[in-house]
Structure 1
Amino acid sequence: MQNLTIKLPAAIQQPGFRALDGLRAVSIGIVIMAHVLTPFLGNSYLGLIGVYIFFVISGFLITTLLLKERVKYGSISLKGFYIRRCLRILPVAYGFLLVLLCLNALFKLEIPGSSFLNCLLFIKNLPILPNRDWYTGHYWSLGVEEQFYLLFPFLLVSLSLRNYKRLIVCLIILIPLLSIINSRKLDTGYLQVPGFIHWAITWVVNLFGGGTVLILTGSLFSILLLTENRFITHICNKAPAFSSLLLFTIGSMLLYPTLPTQIRIFSVPVFGFIIAFVIVLNLKERAMFGRLLEFEWMKKLGILSYSLYIWQQLFTYKQPWHNAGTNVWLLLLNLTALLIVSFLSYSLYEKKFLNFKKRFKRV
């Protein structure tokens, strides 16, 4: 069967994609707000909304860039891809851990060595080593991302685009079903399931159920857009200017924690589809939400989003130097410090690696 044909829309041919930096700014803003509000409201579902948006953006962006590379050069360099990813992710991730190691000794934070090891190996999302501490808690999302990078770009290169699309569609459908099975268990009075099946399902859910579905959804929408899927094309052409903002609002409500567990398991992939639609619709100049995200300060905040995400764990809740708790002025002081530290981290440290990363850039 003939493979899918890739065609690059005008919005995708640009070096940067419209409104994506602004959407990153919204994502990191939601994460920071959720963590700041923890002393007031307890654990909030808001933080997950921000991280889940990052996952969808990541899947869409990575797949689009790799397919652009295939169009331009006729092939995809996995070596170049992994070098670029390492230069983007590792310097700040490991730099934070080095600083945290010093703070752990200075302030006696009692962060166990297993937590540092989990973060170094990017397995924080897997039930391998004990890793319950606040300061490295956000590394679970980096684990999800890195595990995706290890497998799915290789599949994108190895499989035809049509078969890759079929595979990720199957996974998007299958993983939520396995999550429900895992949460409810399989043993009943009529059916006794061997322990290794429970073990296998648990591992599949841990590997692919904590955000990978959302990254795959972004990847799927990249393929649908670049292969001119009729449904996506029709939606993009006919959707009114306010639709992406409306969809974003509706999608955020789907993750409300009081919904039944079974509904929330399926609401996560539905949320992913909604955010993917938001990304695609915002590529259009007329999109109202896209225009808001294009404000210069939003784009600058989006550029800082990775640094902000890594460093915010020290400044938003349980600060090592002083637990601000519900003291609003101390919280504001810590947020100011977070912005300064993130800016300096990006300008004086990250940027050196990002400039070196440009040597391996192909599109």
Structure 2
Amino acid sequence: MILLAFVLKHENIMKKIHFKGLNELRALAALAVVFYHIELYKKRAGTISLFNTFLKKSIESLGHNGVNLFFVLSGFLITYLLIEEKEKFGKIDIKKFYIRRLLRIWPLYYFIFLVAIFILPFAVKNLGLFNDGGFYAKYILMVDVNFETLFLLFLLFLPNLALAKQLTLPGASQAWSVGTEEQYYLFWPIVIDKIKKDFWVVFFIAFIIAKSALNMIAENNFSPETSSFIYTLKVELMAIGAIGAYYTYYHNEKIIPWTTNKWLFILNTILILICLKYQVHHLIFGVLFLYLILYSINDSPLSLRNKYLDEVGKISYGVYMYHPIIMFITYSLINNFIEKNNLIIYNILVYFFTIAGSFVISKLSYNYFESYFLKLKSKGYTVVESGS
């Protein structure tokens, strides 16, 4: 008999809802983004990169879809928890939801923002970071050109608008996706609270269609900046995750034969790999990723279970946020000792220190910085306990 990660459906109000497999997927998504950024920045600095090969499009797609997987996964888990809260208490405590998001996301977001806008430029100017004055030094110092605008946009939690305006904040630009999620969650708990559950799926589908239509309208009729901002709001991917949450919560017995079928899982995996090569529309990836999530949360024969990836998944928010800064420091140090034309040694060191450094600093951050705010969250603002 297949054991689901969310068994014993909510008999105890304090029992944690835990979906196995989600941390492993978070780890894979984070590693995909790290790999993409390492190769991208090697290319920008004039170092031989896989971006200079036939793999360029696949690597770009891998990096972008690592973020897309985060979106679908977030939409699935957060919507499931909101549904659970609505079922238990008949309503959503909107204020507590916002406070929980603030305590989980904001501390690390603003720390990275402050490091990127103040400490990295200071280190370049005064501490000899990238003392060769090459690409990385110039890239980091670009913040001085649009300092006021960048400061305001990131302060107001609009990093995706900065991206749309092509304003770069090296070390924090990856936060655009965090901004998108937070903007989405400004209204999503209200949707779950106010709309009757019989109409949720209809609303989710209509929402996806409307957002997709807006993307097309914006591309052909709006300014490039506005069109780009609308496109970065990939809220339709989170709504796809929400559909999965609805059916998992209310109709799992009906979908379980499909979401535990190993042949469908193999087919889905093959389709993901093919789509990565050909850069298909992100909605197609959204559907494929949703199936991947629904299969992963079951103890099926091919479900990914790995204690190391599970640990990385627990700190994946940190890995995602810290890795560009770690990458800059890594490049600065390695460039002082290793010739770039020594490709094997150079790449081994770049990958090892970027990945290992990101893991270590993320673990320390989680244990000694983020955990303080997580404890505050659990003391008075957690309504439904989650271990996912």
TM-score norm. by structure 2 comes to 0.77
Report if the CA contact (8 A) 2:86-2:193 is conserved.
no
Consecutive unaligned residues in structure 1, runs of 5 or more: 1-7, 187-197
1:320-362 CA deviation, whole Å, 9 max, x = no partner? Answer: 7457576224412233222221111111101111121112212
C-alpha separation in 1, matches of 2:207 and 2:331: 41
1:62-93 CA deviation, whole Å, 9 max, x = no partner? Answer: 00011111222222111111111101001111
Report if the CA contact (8 A) 2:211-2:236 is conserved.
yes
Q: Of 313, 316, 330, which aligns to 1:302?
A: 313
2:216 is matched with which residue? 180
Partner secondary structure for residue 138 of structure 1: helix
C-alpha separation in 1, matches of 2:266 and 2:372: 36
Q: Does 1:41 align with 2:58?
A: no
Report if the CA contact (8 A) 2:180-2:232 is conserved.
no
Q: Report how far residue 242 of structure 1 moved.
A: 5.0
Report if the CA contact (8 A) 1:252-1:271 is conserved.
no
- For 1:136-151, what aligned pairs fall within 5 Å after superposition? 136-151=172-187
Report if the CA contact (8 A) 1:103-1:320 is conserved.
no
Report if the CA contact (8 A) 1:122-1:139 is conserved.
no
2:378 is matched with which residue? 358
2:133 is matched with which residue? none
C-alpha separation in 1, matches of 2:253 and 2:329: 50
RMSD of Structure 2 on Structure 1 (CA): 2.8
Report if the CA contact (8 A) 1:80-1:361 is conserved.
yes
Report if the CA contact (8 A) 2:215-2:230 is conserved.
no
- For 1:52-67, what aligned pairs fall within 5 Å after superposition? 52-67=68-83
Q: Does 1:126 align with 2:161?
A: yes
Cα 1:102–1:37 change in 2 (3 A) is same
C-alpha separation in 1, matches of 2:374 and 2:266: 32
1:192-239 CA deviation, whole Å, 9 max, x = no partner? Answer: xxxxxx46x985873466421111100111112222178634523xx4
Q: What is the letter of the counterpart of residue 159 of structure 2? A: K
Q: What is the letter of the counterpart of residue 24 of structure 1? A: R
2:200 is matched with which residue? 164
Q: Of 354, 372, 386, which aligns to 1:334?
A: 354
Report if the CA contact (8 A) 1:175-1:208 is conserved.
no
- For 1:66-85, what aligned pairs fall within 5 Å after superposition? 66-85=82-101
Q: Report how far residue 303 of structure 1 moved.
A: 0.2
Q: What is the letter of the counterpart of residue 157 of structure 1? A: D
C-alpha separation in 2, matches of 1:104 and 1:23: 34
Cα 1:254–1:345 change in 2 (3 A) is same
Q: Report how far residue 276 of structure 1 moved.
A: 0.9
Report if the CA contact (8 A) 1:51-1:141 is conserved.
yes
C-alpha separation in 2, matches of 1:180 and 1:322: 45
Q: Report how far residue 139 of structure 1 moved.
A: 1.3
Cα 1:50–1:242 change in 2 (3 A) is same
Q: What is the letter of the counterpart of residue 106 of structure 1? A: A
Cα 1:335–1:234 change in 2 (3 A) is closer
2:323 is matched with which residue? 312
1:216 is matched with which residue? 239
Cα 1:356–1:177 change in 2 (3 A) is same
Q: What is the letter of the counterpart of residue 361 of structure 2? A: V
Partner secondary structure for residue 370 of structure 2: helix
1:206 is matched with which residue? 229
Q: Report how far residue 273 of structure 1 moved.
A: 1.1
Report if the CA contact (8 A) 1:49-1:252 is conserved.
no
Q: What is the letter of the counterpart of residue 68 of structure 2? A: Y
Q: What is the letter of the counterpart of residue 149 of structure 1? A: Y
1:95 is matched with which residue? 111
Q: What is the letter of the counterpart of residue 45 of structure 1? A: S
Q: Report how far residue 17 of structure 1 moved.
A: 0.8
Q: What is the letter of the counterpart of residue 212 of structure 1? A: V
Identical columns (%): 26
1:249-286 CA deviation, whole Å, 9 max, x = no partner? Answer: 42243244x55xxxx3xx21121111111111222212
- For 1:279-298, what aligned pairs fall within 5 Å after superposition? 279-288=293-302, 290=303, 292=304, 294-298=305-309
Q: Does 1:19 align with 2:49?
A: no
Cα 1:12–1:132 change in 2 (3 A) is farther
C-alpha separation in 2, matches of 1:77 and 1:123: 25
TM-score norm. by structure 1 comes to 0.81
1:167-197 CA deviation, whole Å, 9 max, x = no partner? Answer: 22012123333323433x26xxxxxxxxxxx
Partner secondary structure for residue 75 of structure 1: coil
C-alpha separation in 1, matches of 2:203 and 2:370: 35
Q: Report how far residue 317 of structure 1 moved.
A: 5.6
1:191 is matched with which residue? none
Q: What is the letter of the counterpart of residue 206 of structure 2? A: C
Cα 1:77–1:245 change in 2 (3 A) is farther
Q: Of 250, 262, 266, which aligns to 1:241?
A: 262
